[in-house]
Amino acid sequence: MEVKVINNKRVLYQGYIYSLIAPGFNGYFQILKNHAPFISILKNGFLKLLINNMNENKKIKIKEEGLLQVKKNKVIVIL
């Protein structure tokens, strides 16, 4: 699935990933391919991106809050 992570200054990551783990308001959750449409508030913590199924990972620190939207295998994260 395609993901784009942005903040008010720049694009932090853009590309295709296998899965995403994010710190939601009530705890961490995971997004996989073909996930239902979804919107969540993010708390401080780490956004964990699994780039492919060969365990290539990327972590992005969330210092404050953010917003995540999933729609048609596209994920947009605004920090």
3-state secondary structure of 78: strand
* CATH class belonging to 2-78: mainly beta
Residues 31-75: pLDDT tens digits? 999 999 999 999 999 999 999 877 789 999 999 899 999 999 999
| Domain chopping of the chain, boundaries | 2-78
Contact status, residue 39 vs residue 69, Cβ threshold 8 Å? yes
How far is CA 15 from each of CA 12, 26, 43, 65, rounded to the nearest angstrom? 10, 27, 23, 22
The reported pTM is 0.92
